[in-house]
Chains A and B, each alone.
Chain A
């Protein structure tokens, strides 16, 4: 009796420790996936001096958040081509500065940073000492396509219908969008400017709330990520009027098709601390390109409705520069 109780207590304690241990490493060491034995043997004659140890990939949001889950999936697919374990480390807090500062100050040559458009928005909104210019671009991987969607029963069948209606009734239509400083807000502003319409943009925090608000008829439409509305779009409850980025396999008229001269790209990518040697960045960029076609990861990002947008070096910087300008322009 006594003995069994002790066992029970021990078991309970063990479970507690396991849980804390798991929190500690943020689930970084995940069980290896079955279908990726693609560890290519030394592919080139001269083996590079990098990497010499396991790699750390830092991210600014909590373990289990959307961006984090994406990064973990990506890291796993990068492990094959790079030939080392990649550990994802979450350093949330302080408007992302905790993570960025950590990478900026790391000098071991094996610490990198996963980034999203937050790298552009947060420094502007919070006046941070670090910006996208503080890092060396490695590779931009994806764009989260954004669209303007309305209820399927809405009176507009095409973008032109809506445009005409909105022009005739300035300020009448309520469109859910992100808060100022977010890309959804920038997209809404630019669309209004280029299409010469006047809509009432209502800031919503997450795409989920905004989608529900459209379904419930609380707002007339929303600008959000395609992936967040896809279930309702497929079911025919919502329809897309215009897209800000092309979505693979779906026929959506984009702002470019309509001749509006602007590009809003909610990107995801990887950057490195300043002073990282070019050879290392090249290895990364190559690995990233290979990872995109790794079957498991390929399936993942296709499911998440991400759009492949592989860009490196100056091209990647150009995207960030452009976005930086766009956001600053609307905060004036």
Chain B
């Protein structure tokens, strides 16, 4: 292994490769920052230019984009409450809250440090356990996926703040929206009312842009009344976190990195799910979990460490099994295949220097990300000094452009707008829209895998769902989590009236 690592290092440490990685990371961060352009799109845009490159450089550049993209989304999530990528949606819960409290620098610094840390942990894990991790990934079948998404979905109970039912309601709305479009088991359109535009369901990006960004802009625009308040006077602390702060979120970041790596290794789950699961687990296990959602630093560290750890994890099925688990890795597969490199079990046997170069490149990419992120954060923080009306207009334009750019379908502009109004109403009435997004993200995975599991078990619920230690443990965990949250919530007197105005 050491010699493979050295060979890999040799591939990485030459000027062309380092330049490719650096450019990739920068491209990724900028892409991630733009709402509507996620890591996948940023990679797809670069793909044609990699065809003329050396295959190893090409894949390293794409790995850099992947890293940068997963991080970049957190910057607008914190600064303007608009996640640049779907994976940064969770970050905006606590991140934007911290920004509103003036702790902008700490929030941005936390996201940068945890992202780098998550990426590093997963890259180092890859070097040692890429192949064993692949065997964990294949243990996840339909019932395990269902169980995993159930655990993630229990988070909706606690997202509603003091009223658990608002969370469940919002989550149920999300699950319902996920069921619009074609039925995953028989391919027939559902709830589309004959409208072809939603035959494939609603796009996650458009829905999320509406619920997060447009609603926030509308809400904030409402507060703009006096002309003298147009330039933000509220003090913004731009100082980055120091060591004593970093210490407080490191355990969370480490735990989330492990979680992100493992979830990333599962085909078809992805960064968004990893973030939600990491956030909900951090909330569950941290002593100060009840302050999540009100600007807790760990609420940034958990999802950000997780979504960058996914980059390493996602390479596991791609490299070790030859199976792309996500759109991002499918693009990497395309880049490798065009150069006649076929990832899979044989890759590690025949040309181990290729996977190991990628691992080393990931580590280097994370270092670049830390450095570039530092300067980009310093620059991005200046956004807070722009006059609000100008800023809002710019964001509005960016969000709609992004929603269109992501899918290339003008219909998504309307979707963004409609969900913006829905999100606005939800915020007005204290219904947690984050729970809706969570339900939407997990709803489809849950439904398809539940039905698959039942088909495999020939309709036997118990045999279908509790068929392995993994799924049984996860499901029991989900059930316990659900009932304890509901119980705790019911025990406390809930003042529905005041909560409604929150």
Which residues of A line the B interface, CB within 8 A? 5, 8-9, 12, 15-16, 19-20, 22-24, 26-27, 30-31, 33-34, 62-64, 66, 69, 72-73, 90-95, 97-98, 125-126, 128, 171, 174, 179-182, 200, 202-206, 208-209, 211-213, 215-219, 228, 230-232, 234-235, 237, 299-300, 303-304
Contacts and interface: CB of A to CB of B under 8 A. Distances in A.
A94 B317 contact: no
B301 to A, nearest CB: 26
A22 B45 contact: yes
Given A202-B455, A230-B342, A235-B345, A212 B48 contact: no
Given A174-B456, A200-B458, A208 B197 contact: no
Given A19-B31, A95-B199, A174-B455, 12 more contacts: A12-B30, A23-B405, A64-B43, A179-B184, A200-B456, A202-B142, A203-B452, A205-B184, A208-B267, A212-B137, A231-B323, A232-B321
Nearest to A9: B379
Contact of B52 (A34, A94, A171, A299): A34
Contacts of A12: 30, 376, 379
A181 B187 contact: yes
A180 B40 contact: no
A202 B347 CA distance: 30
Interface in B46-62: 47-49, 51-52
A231 B343 CA distance: 7
Contacts of B30: 12, 15-16, 19
A69 B334 contact: yes
B41 A27 contact: no
A63 B408 contact: yes
Contact of B138 (A15, A16, A216): A216
Contacts of A215: 138, 321
Contacts of A91: 408-409
A113 to B, nearest CB: 16
B452 A204 contact: yes
B340 interface: yes
A181 B189 CA distance: 12
B323 A228 contact: yes
Contacts of A5: 379
**Which of B48, B182, B184, B317 is most buried by chain A, counting CB atoms within 10 A of its CB?**
B48
Contacts, number: 193
Contact of A23 (B45, B200, B338): B45
Interface of B: 26-27, 30-31, 34, 37, 40-45, 47-49, 51-52, 137-143, 182, 184-189, 196-197, 199-200, 267-268, 317, 321-325, 327, 330-331, 334, 337-338, 340, 342-347, 375-376, 379, 401, 405, 407-409, 411-412, 448, 452, 455-456, 458
Given A125-B189, A181-B187, A203-B452, A23 B141 contact: no
B343 to A, nearest CB: 6
A180 B184 CA distance: 9
Contacts of A94: 196-197, 199, 409, 411
Nearest to A234: B346
A8 B405 contact: no
A181 B376 CA distance: 48
A27 B44 contact: yes
A271 B199 CA distance: 24
Nearest to A101: B196
Given A93-B411, A212-B321, A303 B337 contact: yes
A328 B407 CA distance: 30
Contacts of A27: 44-45, 47-48
A93 B409 contact: yes
25 contacts: A20-B401, A23-B45, A24-B405, A34-B52, A64-B40, A64-B45, A64-B47, A64-B331, A90-B408, A92-B407, A94-B409, A95-B199, A125-B182, A179-B185, A180-B188, A181-B187, A202-B142, A203-B452, A208-B323, A212-B140, A212-B323, A215-B321, A232-B321, A234-B342, A304-B337
A203 B267 contact: no
A90 B45 CA distance: 13
A219 B453 CA distance: 10
Contact of A93 (B48, B141, B200, B342): B200
Given A203-B184, A300-B338, A212 B317 contact: yes
Contacts of A73: 338
Contacts of B327: 64
Given A125-B187, A179-B187, A234-B342, A33 B268 contact: no
A211 to B, nearest CB: 5
A177 B284 CA distance: 38
A204 B449 CA distance: 9
Contacts of A171: 458
Contact of A33 (B45, B51, B344): B51
A181 B184 CA distance: 11
Nearest to A182: B187
Contact of B325 (A125, A208, A218, A230): A208
A313 to B, nearest CB: 30
A232 B345 contact: yes
Contact of B408 (A26, A208, A216): A26
A208 B401 CA distance: 32
B299 to A, nearest CB: 28
A84 B185 CA distance: 44
A24 to B, nearest CB: 7
A23 B184 contact: no
**Which of B143, B187, B342 is most buried by chain A, counting CB atoms within 10 A of its CB?**
B187
B138 to A, nearest CB: 4
A219 B199 CA distance: 29
A24 B30 CA distance: 16
A179 B199 CA distance: 15
A64 B199 contact: no
A153 to B, nearest CB: 14
Nearest to A63: B44
A69 B140 CA distance: 29
A219 B37 CA distance: 36
B408 A235 contact: no
B141 A179 contact: no
Contacts of A126: 189, 196, 199
Contacts of B448: 205
B322 A232 contact: yes
Contacts of B322: 230-232, 235
Contact of A216 (B26, B139, B330, B375): B139
A66 B330 contact: yes
A212 B266 CA distance: 9
**Which of A15, A98, A200, A231 is most buried by chain B, counting CB atoms within 10 A of its CB?**
A231
A216 B140 contact: yes
Contacts of A217: 141
A300 B31 CA distance: 29
Contacts of A24: 405
A236 to B, nearest CB: 8
A107 to B, nearest CB: 21
A62 B321 CA distance: 25
A228 B344 CA distance: 11
Contacts of B196: 94-95, 97, 126, 128
